[in-house]
Amino acid sequence: MYAPMGTPAHVLEKLNAALRVAMQDPRVLQRLTDLSSDVHPLDKICAAGLKTHLVDETLKWGPVIKKTDVCAD
């Protein structure tokens, strides 16, 4: 989940806490699975985990995008 830059830390903490609760609900997990969404472990559901994921994905897919000259319109 993303929030706008400059969102106060206390708001981010509240959102993260709610997200962590939701991610323990079997109905939410099943719906995400039905939508073919990736479900990350709870220890990755935090700002540091998201940052690590984004860096990893950029390193993984960046070269492919550059090599194939793919762009979004």
pLDDT of residue 9: 93
Kindly report the backbone phi and psi dihedral angles of residue 5, in degrees, each rounded to the nearest multiple of 5, phi listed first.
Answer: -55, 140
Per-residue burial over 9-29, b if 16 or more Cβ lie within 10 Å, else e, is eeeeeeebeeeeeeeeeeeee
Positive or negative: CA dihedral 40, 57, 15, 2: negative
What is the model's pTM?
0.66
The letter for the amino acid at 48 is A
pLDDT in tens, the chain (73 residues): 889 999 999 999 999 999 999 999 999 999 999 999 988 888 878 888 888 888 999 999 999 999 998 887 7
Contact of 20 with 28, CB cutoff 8 Å? no
